[in-house]
Amino acid sequence: MLQLIELRRRFGDVVALDGLSFDVPEGRIVGFVGRNGSGKTTTMRITLGVLEADDGEVRWRDAPVDADARRRFGYMPEERGLYPKMHVLEQLVYLARLRGTPKDVARARALELLEVLEVIGDPQARMESLSLGNQQRVQLAASLVHAPDLLVLDEPFSGLDPVGVDVLAGVLQREARERGVAVVFSSHQLELVERLCDAVVLIDGGRVVASGTISELRAMRARNLWRVEVAGAGDAWWAAIPGVRLDDRNDGVVILELDDGADPQRVLDLARAEGDVRAFGPIEPSLAQLFREVVAG
Amino acid sequence: MTESTTDRGAWRLIARRDFWVRLRERSFLISTLLNIAVISILVLARAYGGGGAGPSFDLGYVGGPAVAQGAAELGAKAGVTVRVHQLTDEQAADAALRDGSIDAVVVGDLLVAKSSIDTTLGGLVQASERNVRLAALLDQHGVTAEERSEANAPLGVQTLEPPPPAHRPENAQVAFVAVILLYGQLFGYGIWVASGVIEEKASRVVELLLSAIRPKQLLAGKIVGIGVLGLGQLIVVATFAIVLALVTGAIKVPLSAIGAAGLVVGWFILGFAFYASLFAAAGALASRMEELQNVIVPINLIILVSFFISIGALQNPDGTLVTVASLVPTSAPLAMPVRMVLGAAPAWQIALSLALIIASTILLVPAAARLYMGAILRSGGRVKIRDAWRAAA
């Protein structure tokens, strides 16, 4: 398990991280969500040791992260980049060897990754001769080539076409499920995070504002909204139940907000008495909605 | 446990990559060929240019050969070659002077030239003429051979200091080649270090690298890899130059040439160790390749000034400026080998110079490494030296 404990970091007068803490268990995929400038990249850089924290600790498998542990981490920086003039395969093997992977193993794994990630082109081609999409895939291969125990990916999906997104999503799931890799990635594509992640960490202003599984996050939200569609219903039929208010209405569909004490079954009973109930159910907020709510305070 | 061994392996991997990538680059091939071409021209010019052991002249005579031959004998003692040519009459002498096949001609009591006479040649002929007249006078007065040789006995020679090596002119050319080679190598490979650093920064690959290894390993690997390449090229070019010089007879003392080559190699190692970390730090301050020329200007100037002082040292290896330059670490890698090849550097100065450059390298490398580490991950424009220094604190 990766543990980030009370990380703090300032850049001059700007507080980038303000006591940030969260865990990434092995075999799990954790989505890291926050606005631009909320501290995601700083967190990842500190995790990889590229940047020093002013305070706080990064622990891996219950020990402070050292050079040995770090060699078993895979990283895809926000600022993409490999040697432009180096051959693709040679480059991947080199990066794996820098992290202590034997040459033969690195070569076999690099070739496998180039195939799995569907990198089109000659493995002997120069990096700069590849299309941007292919360069992005090679960059992903570079983070995976040494078969890491922890994957830290900064915006791995940005710049990928829908097919590329599916391919990468499949690779991440396989790494987590089959190899037990701890995966944490940042993304602004929240549907993707929702679909792919076992847990989500929402940060804002350099601190975690919410974290947990999607359902835990939903349970945490303040508002309890129900969507009701009743054919031929009159106006304000719900007003008879205490603790029920109208949130929104649209073309025969009403969104009702229920207080903690209010029983949804009472609402349903009343609705059936009113007319033909076509739809009734709680509104599962999307991650995007939760994010907006949480970040907006 | 395995940490230390893998850490040691990391800089070796980096060194190997920096070595091989550049070895395969066309610019390396071109610079090797260019070096060999320049060296060949210098060696061949010496072998066939006639400039070898000193000035040489062609002296004609009409009539008696005594004066002309006497001038040639005197010239030989002074290291001046005078080739003597017999001419049938004044018309022939006139023609030979005009077409330049002779520099001057002795006709009876006259020394004739086309427009002017070289002072060396003129002096030799005048002295020879005096000798001939003197001999005639002595004959006239019946002076014996013993008396003559007694009168001709040369002055005893004594020096306050041991004489300079006998092969100075030859060594001056070796030193010239040495300083050209060293300058090109230090400068060229220094720039390769700086541009290698910028390449990693500009392409952003450095962040990925530094997530796997420490900045010091990256810096050390790059300097060693590029340095070994420069050293290898230097050895190839120097070996080529020595073989060519021996085959063509440009150099008569092979040991001095091999010694000079050893000096060049040794001082390249010292000079590169001194300068490379500075070039790396300068490279780290830039963000784009276009800024390369700007960030290396200060280092550039220091090496260039050292180069010119060292070229001056060829003429005057004992001058104050040259002596100081051969001790100061920034210029010692160029100035000291020149003085050493010319035999102008006493042992204590060599020892002092070595001690100074080694000590200053030991002090400089951590400082340059700190600048490098403070600047290497900062992108977007030039990094100020102060900011880089503080960032790595």
Place of tokens 């400068």: B187
Place of tokens 């810096």: B219
- If you measure CA to CA, which chain B residue comes closest to A50? B211
- Whether residue A79 and residue B204 make contact (CB cut-off 8 A), yes or no, is yes
Domain-located, residue B102: yes
The answer on B64 and B28 residing in a single domain is: no
Domain-located, residue B155: no
DSSP-derived letter for residue B345 is S
* Chain B from 174 to 203: CB within 8 A of any A CB: 199-200, 203
Cα A229 from Cα A280, distance rounded (Å): 6
- Whether residue A97 and residue B13 make contact (CB cut-off 8 A), yes or no, is yes
Residue B73 belongs to what domain range? 56-150
Distance from CA of B195 to the nearest CA of A (A): 13
- Whether residue A66 and residue B3 make contact (CB cut-off 8 A), yes or no, is yes
A63 Cβ under 8 Å from any chain B Cβ = no
- β-bridge partners, A5: A57
Give the contacts of B324 (CB within 8 A, at least 6 positions apart).
Answer: none
- The yes-or-no verdict on residue B152 having pLDDT over 80 is no
**What are A147's two structure tokens?**
């078969």
Q: Please return the burial class of B356, using the count of CB atoms within 10 Å of its CB with bins 0-12, 13-18 and 19+.
A: middle
- Whether residue A70 and residue B212 make contact (CB cut-off 8 A), yes or no, is yes
Side-by-side strand order, sheet with A199-204: A73-76, A150-154, A182-186, A29-34, A199-204, A207-212
DSSP-derived letter for residue A237 is G
Domain-located, residue B333: yes
The answer on B41 and B75 residing in a single domain is: no
End position of a domain, from candidates B85, B120, B150: B150
The answer on B250 and B365 residing in a single domain is: yes
The answer to whether B68 touches B108, Cβ cutoff 8 Å, is no
The answer on B43 and B79 residing in a single domain is: no
Q: Which among B3, B21, B207 has the least Cβ separation from residue A50?
A: B207
The answer on B364 and B235 residing in a single domain is: yes
Number of domains in chain B: 2
- Whether residue B211 and residue A80 make contact (CB cut-off 8 A), yes or no, is no
Side-by-side strand order, sheet with B110-113: B81-86, B56-62, B104-107, B110-113
Q: Which among A49, A70, A83 has the least Cβ separation from residue B205?
A: A83
Q: How many residues does chain A have?
A: 297
- Residues of chain A with Cβ-Cβ distance to B377 below 8 Å are 50-51
The answer on B89 and B20 residing in a single domain is: no
Phi, psi of A212 (to 5 degrees): 140, -175
End position of a domain, from candidates B150, B183, B206: B150
The answer on B251 and B198 residing in a single domain is: yes
Domain-located, residue B159: no
CA dist A129 → A88, B48, B74 (Å): 10, 51, 73
The answer to whether A254 touches A225, Cβ cutoff 8 Å, is no
Domain-located, residue B186: yes
- Whether residue B207 and residue A79 make contact (CB cut-off 8 A), yes or no, is yes
Domain-located, residue B265: yes
Give the global pTM: 0.76
**pLDDT, tens digit, for every residue of B283-314?**
999 888 888 888 899 999 999 999 999 998 88
Of the candidates B271, B214, B239, the residue with the CA atom closest to the CA atom of residue B36: B239
- Residues of chain A with Cβ-Cβ distance to B10 below 8 Å are 98
The answer on B21 and B64 residing in a single domain is: no
Tell me which amino acid residue B47 is: A
The answer on B200 and B125 residing in a single domain is: no
The answer to whether B96 touches B102, Cβ cutoff 8 Å, is yes
Could you give all domains of chain A from N- to C-terminal order, each with its CATH number? 2-218 (3.40.50.300), 221-296 (3.30.70)
The answer on B98 and B128 residing in a single domain is: yes
DSSP string spanning A168-230? HHHHHHHHHHHH--EEEEE-S-HHHHHHH-SEEEEEETTEEEEEE-HHHHHHH-S--EEEEEE
A100 Cβ under 8 Å from any chain B Cβ = yes
Tally of CB atoms within 10 A around A273: 12
Q: CATH code at B99?
A: 3.40.190.10
Helices (H) and strands (E) in chain B, counts: 16, 4
The answer on B204 and B122 residing in a single domain is: no
Distance from CA of A74 to the nearest CA of B (A): 9
Tell me which amino acid residue B378 is: R
Domain-located, residue B1: no
> For every one of its 297 residues, what pLDDT tens digit does chain A have, with 9 covering 90 and above?
999 999 999 988 899 999 999 999 999 999 999 998 899 999 999 999 888 899 999 999 999 998 889 999 999 998 888 999 899 999 999 999 999 999 999 999 999 999 999 888 888 899 999 988 899 999 999 999 999 999 999 999 988 889 989 999 999 999 999 999 999 999 999 889 989 999 999 999 999 988 998 888 887 776 788 889 888 777 778 888 888 888 888 877 888 888 878 888 888 888 888 888 888 988 887 888 888 877 775
Phi-psi region of B236 (alpha: psi -120 to 50; beta: other; left: phi over 0): alpha
- If you measure CA to CA, which chain A residue comes closest to B13? A98
A70 Cβ under 8 Å from any chain B Cβ = yes
The answer on B25 and B145 residing in a single domain is: no
End position of a domain, from candidates B90, B123, B150: B150
- Residues of chain A with Cβ-Cβ distance to B214 below 8 Å are 67
Domain-located, residue B162: no
Residue of B205, B218, B222, B373 to mutate when probing chain A, most A C-beta within 10 A: B205
* Residue B4, pLDDT score: 40
